[in-house]
Amino acid sequence: MTCPACRLPVHTQFASPGLVGPIVEGGLDPADDPGWADSGADSPAEYARWAGHLCGVTCLRMALGAGAPPLFALRDGALKYGAYTEDTEGAIRGLVYAPFAEYVREVHGLEATVHRHLSTDEIVALLDEGRTVMASVHYGIRHPERPAPGRGGHLVLVTSRTPDGNGVHFHNPSGTTATTRAAELPLTDFERFFAGRGVSLAGDTRQGPQTGADPGA
């Protein structure tokens, strides 16, 4: 699926978009996703262990446009740079912004800037400069009609502003429906879920790459 407003593909961090809801809200084991191999994972077990952590590289995959590598190939690259880490007990940590930005610049040729303090007005300004913004939000943003449970912990790709400047279009890797995967919200609603940090990307994000959860560190 491609978003008409920005011409960037819409991807989910789980291989089967129709199963995102059952996985994230219905308790379905990701290992039961029949599309797991399309992600590039080596096994259903690896896919199930990692997919819930890969909102950040899913955003990158969308920003890279047509011809982007499979999700787990991007995961492997991010791991090499330290953008994801695993502790001695196997717990997965990340996305860590600074090494992620280095990975994006060096491997994929996009300009990547870490914003540890970012307002919604600054997001709009970055969009007007032609950048996309990976913004840290609460995953509850898929239900904007409900009170925000918190801020941060999940990444979405903000792709453009609305013509009146009062809202933004964004792609949500854990959106459960077409309208929450390629979504639009007024800034006042977006801000309720937004943690005030992120990573902005610039470069040719529509022609593919030049080569082959969220602490905000």
Q: Model confidence over 101-127: pLDDT tens digits?
A: 999 999 999 999 999 999 999 999 999
Model confidence over 160-170: pLDDT tens digits? 999 888 999 99
pLDDT attached to residue 165: 83
Chain position carrying tokens 């905000």: 216
Packing angle of the helix pair 71-80, 97-108 (nearest 10 deg) = 110
Amino acid at site 2? T
State how far the Cα of 214 lies from the Cα of 217, in Å rounded to an integer. Answer: 8
Q: How far apart are CA 184 and CA 67, in angstroms?
A: 25
What pLDDT does 163 receive? 87
Tell which residue, 57, 1, 92, 70, has the closest CA to residue 201.
57
Confidence of residue 2 (pLDDT cuts 50, 70, 90): very low
Q: Is the pLDDT of residue 213 over 70?
A: no
Please tell me the predicted confidence (pLDDT) of residue 90.
85
Q: Which among 162, 164, 138, 159 is positioned nearest to 150, based on CA atoms?
A: 138
Q: Which residue type does 189 have?
A: D
Residues 6+ apart with CB under 8 A from 209: 64, 67, 68, 69, 107, 108, 109
Which residues are CB-contacts of 89 (< 8 A; sequence separation ≥ 6)? none
Mean pLDDT for the chain overall? 92
17-202 fold = Cathepsin B; Chain A (3.90.70)
